[in-house]
Structure 1
Amino acid sequence: MKTLFKFILVLMISMQLQAQEKLISGKVSDESGIPLLGVTIVIKGTSKGTSTDFDGFYEIKAKEFDVLVFSYLGYVTEERKVKKLNTISLSLEIQKEALDEVVVVGYGIKRESKTLSYAVSTVRGVSVSKALSGKSAGVSIRGVATKKKHEKYSDPQSGQLTAGEINDLEKWNEWLAVLKNKKYKKIQNNWGFYLENKIEVLIIDDNSKPVSNVKVSLFNDLNEQIMSARTDVSGKVILFKDLNKICKDEYFVVQAICNNRILGKKITNNHQNVNFVLDYVNSSNDIDVMFTIDATGSMGDEINYLKSEIKNIISRLDNKIDKKRVALTFYRDEGDEYLVRDFDFNDDIEVVKEILSNQSAGGGGDYEEAVEEALKVALSKEWNKSAKSRLMFLLLDAPPHLNEENVSVIKEQIKIAQEKGIKIIPIVASGADKTVEFLMRFFSLSTNGTYVFLTDDSGIGNPHLKPTASDYKIEKLNDLIVRLIEKYSGIVG
């Protein structure tokens, strides 16, 4: 009996050890020993995986009874049992069939490390040997499919990415409580956004209807302008007494300008609401929507899905909108193939979708990217001055480089967005840290927008940052963005 008990105990311990994850690493090369970039390594029967870096190295957590599947376009797929191994290296054998064209397709493999994330793109006009040797910069193969020449690439199905929203203007007390954390105070001080002392201005007409697009400015007691912005479709605008510095003034002046008429009210630091009545009606029903997108390599795990969602979103813009224009801005970083690639506002949705289809991720290298350059280009466009809504969705997973010059540039661009009445709505992707979260929440607050973030619920992409918030609702990203466009355009479902 004792022997049987010992046997069962040893068996249970052995099974428990086998069920524990361990770190497996290794190198993948071709038959001549050349490292292969972008080889997909997946735990068989799951969507959990990673890919090799420029030197052919990879890391993945797996269990002893797992099987690793190694696949790479143009090479024979290999499987290796983990067992008691901690290192699994191998060379892949090239397939005999030749390919005229390589089509790289993302399938939502969930990677474990941002640093092992590369571009997902369509490679055309590239020799097979060059594409497979990893010399085509920024190409990562994550699940593959071959298509005949001239056959169009099929986008991933839209409605897969999941996201949440935090509207700090609507959860003001929670925002103030969060900022008491010293760690977040440091981010606040680094970038010089304070945003703790607000005033809500409401402008209505003689019939008590909200008036949009009215310029409203805030001055301190020395008659220095602190902030200038525009009312939205609700007739409201939020101004900040402490936009770029801690507020110490006792008195302020709120000024509204409409039809060459200037109205002003003097308030104390304790005032939080100011109302104006104007005999003015804005009849425009137009909207401008811009998508500004980080297209560096680290976005490779999600960019094809994001493109599908954006196409779906712009196709669903409500027919109640008289005129809708959409613009696209893509950015990378210094030293990449391009710094900013922009496409001006267009009311032909099909043209915008085609432009979007032709973009891919690549470049990057360090964590920070040229966010400030993207803002400069995006905000310099000819935004519709009479539009009732101007929205810029900023999709990214990394912050700008932190230095004195960039801090100044960022503040200047936020000022431009405020003066033009452009709401910045960040959409934060996988791999972002708390600096990205809070800087983007500063962006959204400063421009009366809201903060959006992707979540792990979709199973697509690398791990996503959990926001600093007590609660939030999980939605399909495309539904969330359409809801926001309709909300800020005054469309009632």
Structure 2
Amino acid sequence: MKRLAPLLCLMLLFWGCTETLNHRSVPPEPVEAEKAMPPLPTFGMHADEGVMTREAKSAPVRKRGLGAPSASASGLKAAYADDNRQFNHFLDFLETYKEVPHIPADVSERITLSVLDQKGRTLPDCTVRIALGGKTVETGKTTADGIFRTYPALYAGTAQTLTATLRYADLEKKISLDRSGRRDVTVTLDTHRALPAAVPLDLLFILDTTGSMGEEIEQLKTSIDLINLNLSQLSVRPLIRYGMVMYRDAGDEYVTRTIPFTTDLEAFRQRLSRVRAGGGGDTPEDLESALQKGIDEMDWNEAGIRLAFAVTDAPPHLDYDHAFTYMDAAHTAREKGIKIFSVGTGGLSLAGEYVLRQLSQLTGGAYIFLTYGERGESDGGAPGSVSHHTGANFTSDKLEAVIINIARNELNHLVAQPDETHGEYFEGVAGSQKPDEVTAELFEKAVGQLADYAAISLSGKPATAVLPLASELSGPDASYLTSALLIAATRHPLFTVVERDNTSAIADEITLGLSGFVDEETAARAGRLTGAELLMAGRVVTSGSRVDVIVRLVRVETGEVLSATRILMDTSLLPSAWD
């Protein structure tokens, strides 16, 4: 207790030793939600079927989640950054490196539409039309997760109200979107989701085949059978089509070559076996021509899942003045409901990563980067050693395992729903560190995730109130955890924590109950009492020797949850166990 004892004692006095809440004991939420298939593993998680490594077993704090598929033959290690999940983190990346060559696209204002059927299931392939004053400014399709994201700053000017028209089969529904309103809008249509017996799954590889890409090309050849085996054995039995666009640069043997979509794996494998690396010379290559061939001109399925993997070690030529730019490709992909997962290889430059991450974020995909055995910052590697801004959200696995899990995760949306923290959590165990140090590290990581995954920009360092965690723990233990949250929030550079002498009285007035749930009315009242724009609120539940903490970042103006984080910790880390 040497390092944090003074601060924690002050916080304990500040919050007071509250009595245990007189509520029925609520069992903790399961660590791993019951799903038909495991979801895409997220950053920082061990991708080893849930088996802890020696390092993980001895580490007092670790990030955990569900595992990846079985090991593969490839020697290429890959990791990925889902910039729509870590949205605020991504906005910081765009601002920090805005001087690199790119096509500007202001995505800082984002409204996410989640479309569901009568049973609460996601509705893929629902067409969405966004209009201003009756004039259509954007069209698109929901993907397997039922999501379509729109970015008003790209087209709305000073207009404050948008109209979204959603159509599924013969059903149409119009809703009004307020730009100052909720960032996440759920729309339920009075219909049932209709899926074919075999869900169409289109997988397109947009492959840079210049001279430096030999290793990646050969590994794809050896991995395609494993990818097909894993996906074809899923319970949903997808109807898989494979396609490819190969590209080089102006002056090479070819600029683009295409393998049309086919369900015939053997025919695709034979075509793939003839692909060779060659050409290139200057660093940029003609990615934009390849995107036009792949995204705009390929024969994509009309109802199913559509995934593109753009693999390159070079930035695109932006000096060719193509009529169809990479940003046009992103908008076309949104219209067709195609997710682009970009893959950066071989020491891709910052300029290349910037463009690839723009493509993936706008289309709902993720940026994948090959690590070649290098370690990320969170694993002791040098900053920029594997990607220019991955931060702590980093994990690695075999490239084909990542591809398999991405496709599996998309199919998973059609049979199950993800939980609010995506099956991800920070775990703290008793170890060589002192209990207070472990707790401090847990809450520091959790608050960092709340910031990174926030659905709005936090660049203005919004005023934030930390509410006492709803808990069934004893007064000292409950206050200790709330104090740890308060200290972590105060230390984070993006939160301006509201300090009020009457915080305890405010907490008494705002009754959250054991769930720690903050509805719109409660959020508004808390905002008025504290002067805060954001709230950190949550709950603590115990089960045996485990303490389960979920904390949510709530926007006062709308009462919506901007991000959520989860901590699982041993009860041995609590003050009541120190005697």
**Does 1:470 pair with 2:385?**
no
1:77-103 Cα distance to aligned partner (Å, 9 max, x none) = xxxxxxxxxxxxxxxxxxxxxxxxxxx
Q: How far, CA to CA, are the matches of 1:342 and 1:242 in structure 2?
A: 36
Partner of 2:203: 289
How much does 1:246 deviate? Answer: 8.6
Equivalent of 1:199 in 92, 108, 111: 111
Q: Secondary structure at the match of 1:483?
A: helix
Deviation at 1:218, TM superposition (A): 2.3
Q: Does the alignment pair 1:340 with 2:252? A: no
Letter in 1 for 2:303: S
Query: Of residues 365, 390, 395 in structure 2, which corresponds to 1:449?
Result: 365
Cα offset, 1:456, TM superposition:
2.7
Q: Which amino acid aligns with 2:174?
A: G
1:420 to partner: Cα distance: 0.8
Superposed displacement of residue 458, structure 1: 7.2
- Aligned counterparts of 1:368 and 1:311: Cα–Cα separation in 2: 31
**Number of the residue aligned with 1:385:** 302
**Are 2:245 and 2:258, in contact at CA under 8 Å, matched by a contact in 1?**
yes
Aligned counterpart in structure 1 of residue 279 of structure 2, from 360, 363, 370: 363
What amino acid is the match of 1:487? N
Give the drift of 1:222. Answer: 4.3
Distance change >3 Å, CA 410–CA 178, structure 1 → 2: closer
For residue 219 of structure 2, what is the aligned residue in structure 1? 305
Give the CA deviation at 1:254. Answer: 1.8
Alignment of 1:79-478 (within 5 A): 158-181=73-96, 184-187=97-100, 190-219=102-131, 221-243=132-154, 248-271=158-181, 272-278=183-189, 279-284=191-196, 285-319=199-233, 320-379=236-295, 380-387=297-304, 389-403=305-319, 405-406=321-322, 408-457=324-373, 465-471=386-392, 472-478=394-400
Give the TM-score, by structure 2 length.
0.53
Question: Given that residues 232 and 238 in structure 2 are in contact (C-alpha distance below 8 angstroms), is that contact kept between their aligned partners in structure 1?
Answer: no
How big is the shift at 1:427? 0.8
Residues 302-334 of structure 1: CA deviation (Å, up to 9, x unaligned): 331233234432332233324111111111111
Deviation at 1:247, TM superposition (A): 5.4
Native 8 Å contact 1:292 1:394 kept in 2: yes
Tell me the alpha carbon deviations over residues 341-364 of structure 1, each in whole angstroms, 9 at most, x when there is no partner: 111111111221221111011011
CA contact (8 A) 2:117 2:193 kept: yes
1:470 and 1:464, CA in 2 relative to 1: closer, same or farther beyond 3 A?
closer
Letter in 2 for 1:201: L
In structure 1, the partner of 2:423 is none
Distance 1:403 1:223 in 2: 36
8 Å Cα contact 2:342-2:356 kept in structure 1: yes
The structure whose residues are more often helix, as a share, is 2
Which shows bigger deviation, 410-419 or 435-444?
Answer: 410-419
- Which of 405, 409, 416 is 1:483 aligned to? 405
**In 2, distance between residues paired with 1:248 and 1:269?**
10
| Offset at residue 224 of structure 1 (A) | 4.3
- One-letter amino acid of the counterpart of residue 358, structure 2: F
CA RMSD, 1 decimal: 2.4
Which structure ranks higher in relative contact order (CA pairs < 8 Å, sequence separation ≥ 6)?
Answer: 2
Shift of 1:298: 2.1
Deviation at 1:399, TM superposition (A): 1.9
Q: Is the 8 A contact 1:367 1:398 kept in 2?
A: yes
Whether contact under 8 Å (1:456, 1:464) holds in the other structure is: no
Asked whether the 8 Å contact 2:77–2:397 carries over to 1, the reply is yes
Quote how far apart the aligned CAs of 1:240 are: 1.9
Gaps of 5+ in 1: 1-156
| Structure 1 residues 420-464: Cα deviation after superposition (integer angstroms, max 9, x where no partner) | 1010000111131111111111101111111111003179xxx97
1:458–1:198: structure 2 CA closer, same or farther, 3 Å change rule? same
Letter in 1 for 2:201: I
Q: Which residue of 2 aligns with 1:47?
A: none
Between the aligned partners of 2:243 and 2:345, the Cα distance in structure 1 is 20
**Aligned AA (1:312):** L
Seen in structure 2, the aligned counterparts of structure 1 residues 407 and 433 have a Cα distance that, compared at 3 Å, is farther
**Aligned pairs, how many?**
328
Q: Is the 8 A contact 1:429 1:454 kept in 2?
A: yes
